[in-house]
Structure 1
Amino acid sequence: MIQELDLAPGERARFISDIHFGHAKALAREPEELGFLLEGCSHLVVCGDLSETRESPCREEGLEKRARFLRMCRDAGVQPVLLAGNHDPDEKAGLLKLQGGRICALHGHALFREVAPWGWEYLKNKQVSRELIAAFPEAEADLLRRLELARAMSVLVPPVYTRSGTHQNKLVRFLAHSAWPPERPVRILLAWLTMMRRMGKFADRFFPEAEVVIFGHLHRRAVSGKKGRRLYVNLGACFRHARCWAADVTPERGVSIRSYTPGGYDGPEEILR
């Protein structure tokens, strides 16, 4: 559940998240579109949700594209590190500790005991979700149990990708997807507004030695952390209505980010530390 990695001098780890191969709203339709991300790094860390691998109509496509992407990594001489997200809970590792734990990476769904409290899977199945949470009382203080809860919650009920009764009007479809029930947009907004504070408390509890925390899950890229304090980087998502960063980390714990799309990098590198 917890993987460790130490970079040697001259190596570079690149972090990405939430590619969602196989999902209808993924921006990268083919793995080859992201080949440029394999240039200039020795390791590629995917902070969860690389592919849709849960039991769903998307699974076959997600598995095939994940396998193809891993072949691309091998052919490029890049070591892939795949962390589990709520859309690919079959990945073994839920947390990566880099350079002795000074840098920690995870998907971010373990922040919430419900995994995605704004998701239809939870909103339509609150009682069974609460029963599962109650079966993991140790998850409040035990990191391994918290990661186990996140994995169990991710496969508790079948994934919901679209609402039934899809309307032809685009506005109606958007409102049905994003704004119904009304609790859904409220929970999304609350998660965005509190994600850095929530991650700070999570890190203090489970990996206080971390100087840098890199995560995804919320599909909203952001950076937080003043000089001399812990740095938090949410990588966003390569997904419709979202934007994404690739973050590079060196053995000296230097951290930089760069915006990208399936067409390539679309902004200059920004040095964070």
Structure 2
Amino acid sequence: MSERIVIISDTHLGRPHAAAASARALRPLWDGADRFIVNGDTAEVHHPSHWCEAAKETMQLFDLCETDDVQLTLLSGNHDPYISDIRHLHLARGIIFVTHGDVLHPAVAPWSPAAGRIHRAYQNGLEQLEDGDRETLEARLQLAQHASHEEWKHLHELKREASRSTMFNMIIRPWAVAKVVWYWRIVPRLASEFIKQHAPEAQFAIIGHTHRPGVWTCRGRTIINTGSFGFPGTPRAVVLEGRELKVVRIEWRGEQYELGTHALARYELPEPVDSVAAETESARPAASVPKTRPGSDRPSVPAI
């Protein structure tokens, strides 16, 4: 039986600006889908000014998907590193590799004012691993998760750094703009190299994180970035059904988001995406976390 999967990223729920309006506004995106995947940075659970609203919106997202009988899967990102222990997915028998994208650089977000601190946390974690474990997929993903959390541990630094992350303050910090543009340019290559090493069977990589939507062919692989509901505010969705993968715009219509009717890119898959297809994920859900439906793990209270 053919399964319909919709993948988005970087909703940043709970933030009053540069974010998706609400969980309810996202509801039309999973209409007719069997599974809805948010590929990292679902909610601003890292920030003391936002985490209450972020937690409320996250629970609302689960409630709505459960009501609609849609399986919800959250992957963790650098803004919500422990909202989920799912760090990556292999879909369509490994042909499609999904991860947020924070794993592609040891500083996680090299344009960030906290990049130096994040990089040091990553390196410190790396040094604690045995030589043979340092380059495994699981180690790389967990190191990025650990380093991302380190960014938000220093609350006295957090508000000051977050206040410098507005578009205006980026403009008055030309070096930050230059780093963003530089990183945007190299991300397709970094993603291609990463999956060559860690998921060599994958022909497609679906990422988010950088907020720059696009589709690139790099070294024989297709790299898809679904963008963000924050700046620059041009989110995309990947829709998987049967043997088809397509990329569509997410459009704001009235008080809600809807999938665009025109495919920006369309590919035929050699393997179908269905409920029988082999799929693996780096998930270690706590036994005490209640499930909504199989595969949907609500975050525990400490996680949000």
Whether the 8 Å CA contact 1:220–1:242 is kept in 2: the answer is: no
TM-score, structure 2 as length reference: 0.76
1:250 aligned residue = 241
TM-score, structure 1 as length reference: 0.84
1:121 aligned residue = 114
Whether the 8 Å CA contact 1:114–1:133 is kept in 2: the answer is: no
SS in 1 for 2:143: helix
Matched, 1:187 2:198: no
2:103 aligned residue = 110
SS in 2 for 1:63: helix
Cα distance, 1:125 vs structure 2: 6.3
SS in 2 for 1:184: helix
Distance 1:230 1:164, change over 3 A: closer
1:20-31 alignment to 2 at 5 Å?
20-31=12-23
1:60 aligned residue = 52
Indicate the structure with greater strand content. Answer: 2
1:261 aligned residue = 251
2:94 aligned residue = 101
Cα distance, 1:161 vs structure 2: 6.4
Give me the whole-angstrom Cα distance separating, in 1, the residues matched to 2:162 and 2:177: 20
Whether the 8 Å CA contact 1:139–1:149 is kept in 2: the answer is: no
Give me the whole-angstrom Cα distance separating, in 1, the residues matched to 2:246 and 2:108: 28
Matched, 1:152 2:142: no
Give me the whole-angstrom Cα distance separating, in 2, the residues matched to 1:111 and 1:166: 25
Instruction: State the Cα deviation string for residues 39-96 of structure 1 (Å, max 9, x = none).
Output: 1211011110111122522111111100001111111111011111011111111001
Unaligned runs of 5+ in 1: 1-8, 168-172
- Code of the aligned partner of 1:45: I
Cα distance, 1:121 vs structure 2: 2.0
Matched, 1:80 2:76: no
- Code of the aligned partner of 1:223: V
- Code of the aligned partner of 1:260: I
Identity %: 25
Aligned length in residues: 257
Distance 1:13 1:39, change over 3 A: same
Give me the whole-angstrom Cα distance separating, in 1, the residues matched to 2:133 and 2:170: 31
Report which stretch shifted further, 96-105 or 117-126.
Answer: 117-126
CA RMSD of aligned residues (A): 2.6
2:137 aligned residue = 143
Cα distance, 1:232 vs structure 2: 1.4
Whether the 8 Å CA contact 1:260–1:266 is kept in 2: the answer is: yes
1:202 aligned residue = 194
- Code of the aligned partner of 1:156: E
Unaligned runs of 5+ in 2: 268-304
1:212 aligned residue = 204
Whether the 8 Å CA contact 2:121–2:146 is kept in 1: the answer is: no
